[in-house]
Amino acid sequence: MAQVNWKGVMPAVTTKFTNDDQLDLNMFSVNIRAQLDAGVHGIILGGTLGEASTLEDEEKKILVRHTVDLVDGKVPVIMNIAEQSTKKAIETAALAKEQGAAGLMMLPPMRYKSTDEETVAYFKAVADSTTLPIMIYNNPVDYKIEVTLEMFDELLKLDNIQAVKESTRDITNIIRIRNRFGDRLSILGGVDTLAMETLVMGADGWVAGLVCAFPRETVAIYELVKSGRIEEAAEIYRWFMPLLELDISPQLVQNIKLAEVATGIGSEQVRLPRLPLSGAERQRVLGIIEEGVRTRPEIPNF
C-alpha cells in the first residue's frame, strides 16, 4: 500500500484556466512552486476549490500527471473524489493512481443524500478497489451528510482509510475522534476560520484554502502552533482572519482566485457557471484582500 504522512499544511489548490477555458498549466505551476517554497506538506487537487464538478476526466489526468512531475516526490499529491455514483468514484480512483497520485480525499456521494449505511458502503467500495490511502472529507454543513464516529468504527476496518478532513465546525469533535481512535485516524482541519483552534486541539494538519494566495503565512501558523509558540501563531492568525472568512462563502473560488492575483501567484479565470465577482461584492472582497496584502506580517523564524 502507498504511504501518505497525513500531517501538515495541504493546500486544496485552485485549478487555473486560460481566457478560452483551457487548463492554464503555466500559472498553475507558478502557484504550486510557491506552495512548495513555503514548505507545504502535500497538494490536494480537484476539491471544491479546484472546481471539481466542472473538470473533465482528461483534465483531471493532466492535472495529476503535471503536478506529480512538478513536485518531483517532495510532497504527496492527493486527488479528490466527488462523484455521483460508486462506479464513477472507483473509476476516478483508478485514474488518480494511474497518473501517479499518492492518495485520495473522498466526499460522500454527490447530489443524493445517502443514508449512513449507503455512505459507509460507498466509501468501503472505493477503498476496496484501490491501494491508495484515503482521507474522508467530513463536511455535513455543505454536503448534508455527516460521517459519525460510529460510521468510522466500520470504515477503519479498512487499512487504507487513514485520515479525516474535519469540517463539522465542532471543535470538540476533534477530541472525540482522538479519544475514540487514538492515532489510528489522522485529523486535518478543513475550515480556515477554525484552523488554529483545530491545530491547538491536536489536529495533525490543515487542509487549507487561503493558502492558495498566502502559503508562507499558512505554513507559519501550523509550524508555530506545533512548536508551542501559540502567541506568535495567534498574531498571524488575527491578521489572517478577514481573509480566511473569504473561504466560508459559496463564492470561495472567486474570492481566493482574486487573492491569488493580488499576491502574484494566480489568475481570476473561473469556469462557468461561476462568474468572476462584480459590483459591490467585488469591491468588498478586493478591499479585504488589499488590506491583507498591505499589512502582511513579518514571519518569524521557525
Task: Summarize the confidence of residues 249-262 as an average pLDDT.
Answer: 97
pLDDT in tens, 32-74: 999 999 999 999 999 999 999 899 999 999 999 999 999 999 9
| Banded model confidence at residue 111, pLDDT cuts 50, 70, 90 | confident
Unique residue bearing C-alpha cell 478532513: 165
Phi-psi region of 73 (alpha: psi -120 to 50; beta: other; left: phi over 0): left
Residue 88 is predicted with a pLDDT of: 97
Q: What pLDDT score does 143 carry?
A: 84
Query: Looking at residue 147, what is its pLDDT?
Result: 97
Q: What is the pLDDT of residue 2?
A: 73
| Beta bridge pairs of residue 189 | 166, 206
Give the mean pLDDT of 275-296.
Answer: 98
CATH numbers and ranges of domains, the chain: 8-294 (3.20.20.70)
| Average pLDDT of the segment spanning 246-260 | 96
pLDDT tier for residue 12 given thresholds of 50, 70 and 90: very high
Are 210 and 12 in contact by the 8 Å Cβ rule? The answer is: no
pLDDT band at 140 (very low <50, low <70, confident <90, very high): confident
pLDDT of residue 56: 95
**pLDDT score at 1:** 72
| Cα→Cα distances 54→16, 60, 271, Å | 12, 10, 7
- pLDDT value at 218 more than 90: yes
The model's pTM: 0.97
185 in Cβ contact with 228 (< 8 Å):
no
